[in-house]
Chains A and B, each alone.
Chain A
């Protein structure tokens, strides 16, 4: 595992979560920490996946979440939006939009670093052990973080890097500098 790429993946994942959570939650309640994959594997989660692809690499971003009533209540207690209609349906929609925003932020950071990449729309995986499935397709690097509310896990994020054949020795993601320069989201840019 290349240490520069590993650090870059942590930066991308952490900044994506920081920016997105700052926009949707009352931030003082939420904290984000790097975790080991085993922390995620120890629990039962549903997973939403979104991919970023370029000519030299592919990234899979996964959001692992519980849809227990207790977690959903904690979640809606923390976000800024109103609840309208069925809480579980809205939670599912919110999770998909969250992954869309996380992947969009990651793709924007990669753009600032000079990579030309496109992203997919989020999809829910109908499997219970998504990290095992990712292991089977052999990523070149992976990082995981957890989002905690007052010490209790709310959801976890994983970012997997797959370097396209032939670029294994040459692809170096120089992300920390790019992430610092990356403009914040949410501003209205006039044309």
Chain B
């Protein structure tokens, strides 16, 4: 049934009965056994990661989701590097979550967020390739009755060195699948990499330019009906009543259904018919306890948190109060960052088919396993009676990772029309008002400078919403949400790049009824603005150059400093800019990578032109530089759209923005020239999809302040009459 869907994800597996998981040294269970596990076309699995067809096609299984960031290409490069296969013969496919569960999770984590696709799975994916290579070589050696040590593998061909005999992978795959996998296989030294680090072409471009690529919204199944839905516009509200009779006789309408306690859906022959009927359907909502909440009331709550006595402390060094009280100069500023919607181009959707003994879901998801869990919960069926097929995503940005509300809805609809597949596709309007929003946050920053302009004390107080408290409360630490402090941490993947002798960083958690979510970059978006704009404010108060002021505080953070220096050098910081052009800097460490930007802007009245942004990233290892460049430029579009023109405001308990007219997004005319400096220093794996997003906004804001003398501290800039041109 799924053979009509895209190349990735279209195969299921036939698992041999003896394919019982057995642990390898990598801490994962790669199944092996005497009976061969076969892909649906009959080709043998060498192991869970690698299938080789008789024609030498190499199928690399990728558990992470491709949503445009290039992860299937990057992870395939990982496996191919160690497999020593012919890159031109590589294709990829998704294993299904149901298969993962049935086989004891041989592919590990499916979650594709937090910029972890490559940085957290590179080792076991490379091991998967290396293990398969050893098995293929062993199989060839066995055939030739020679020691495997006399054989080598390159470009999908095994050579017996003493005799020069050769055989291709496809010819020995069947035998290799029966070889006992080695207990452990050493991985290549990075200096020997041939595919990792190369800008090989992505594997998934062609179907995206011909219209052939099938996204979730495009799925067609035999006998399928189409649905669209409205959930209570006030979060926490319920359906009170609806007048189904008013729309039941409209063209194509099959069912008008209550979905859970909170939503109403129309199921029709076509989606347009479903939408037309739902628009005409009178629905009364029980708006619940949150119907009076507004942006103003939320802002008041957060403002009170800026001076609250009780907070969650992340970092406390020295005596901040004393240092600031004794400082020659005190600088204080309050910043505020709004709720934001993800607004991927493809609205939320899922297709479900339910019978009493099987529930199947087709969904564009960043986390197949989480979609699977939602399917189990909504269907009430056990894992062996559920399956999820991952379909291509029209963008994710975090909306399709931790949240599968649309899967729950699709299954609840399908349960009411058993045996019939139903595709649920949200309207853009529903997508806008039923988001999982970037959390709202305010910050008060207080700094003390000594007589020489040195920063002697800094207090960064955050006040606002915790994502983890709402989404993963089990991950709170004694109530504290460490994710709130991304980019401000004392150590780890989000380390603050400054050493300040007296430092206090704390969070007054102020949660709202608006559901928060992980939005590309998550909390680095606002934390980078708070920190890096305030650093410029401090430098100005100290009468110092913004770069020199930072450098003095960064001597113990050489990797942070290296990326900052790189953008300053490339952009010509300290040298005269072209007439009317002003520069601004920012840096941060996030998701394991060190990133910095230098922006050049020109200002004409209320019109701001971002001309150029030089960006540097040290992501440890750069797997595919061309795709990293694209992620950098793309992240700037997402981040700058937000800071210039986007916010989700709350009125009467609901989100006010309903489409791109009120939640705008950058166009090509507004795109700055982005120059990327990819400077991997080796020895670690940092993220790519998210880190750079956070430096664009503060670099631009600092440039704007340098151009105008005006420091903007609340966002988006459109609220100040500022227009991006």
Question: Are A and B associated in one complex?
Answer: no
Partner-B contacts on A (CB < 8 A): none
